Amino acid sequence: MTGAEPVLRRAGDRGWLVECAGARPADVATAIRQRPWASGLRDVVPAATTVLVVADARDGMEPLAAELRAVLAEVGARAGRPAPGRTVVIPVRYEGADLAAVAERVGLAPREIARLHTGAEHSVGFFGFAPGFAYLDGVPERLRLPRLASPRPRVAAGVVAIAGNQTVVYPGGTPGGWHQIGVTAERLWDVRAEPPNRLAIGDRIVFEAVAS
């Protein structure tokens, strides 16, 4: 691994906070969960640049740190290779409320926005903000925009929106300051389902343009 190296910091008496540096937190979290010793962990929580690892017991924190460093070395050695995971196809109607504004801002036609977005490699990086709110990495550089200055107070389920290098499919009922470029009829978060979340860390997401 080149550049900045990952750093481990203590997080309470049972946790390590891994600052992933050049490694993708989703890849680190997936690799940790695949280890036999992961059965002794209470939680593994990836975020934008870190992974929080919480053990069941306070004993053995230094050996755990050694295991985590071995995982980080392995993930760094295979950097750039596709991570294993499911592929989830999400059909999208590219007719979002902000599509025209995004097209004007980046100097592309709306159909080019759809082409770039569907042609990119997306994956589930982490969850946060609200139940079912998955941050999907992989927005092409040409489409990367900061969030809206004034978020909407409520966004409906199925709205597909972008900000920075990420896409989100809104679970519904939350505020939202991302640029809405499309909508899908797929339900990715359903409290009546088991499990309620259709997506998982590391899943590869394929957005597919469909007609209205």
Q: Encode pLDDT of 53-68 as tens digits.
A: 999 988 889 999 999 9
Helix (H, G, I), strand (E, B) or coil at 114: helix
Fold (CATH) for 87-209: Cyclophilin (2.40.100)
Which of 124, 202, 206, 107 minimizes the C-alpha distance to 166?
124
Q: What is the pLDDT of residues 150-176, one digit of tens each?
A: 999 999 999 999 999 999 999 988 999
Q: Give dist(CA 209, CA 124) in Å, integer.
A: 19
Where, residue-wise, is CATH 2.40.100.10 in the chain?
87-209
Helix (H, G, I), strand (E, B) or coil at 83: coil
In what order do the strands lie in the sheet containing 7-10?
7-10, 15-19, 50-55, 41-46
Q: Which residue has the tokens 């695949």?
A: 34
Where, residue-wise, is CATH 3.30.1360.40 in the chain?
7-77
Specify the pTM: 0.77
> CATH top-level class for 7-77?
alpha beta
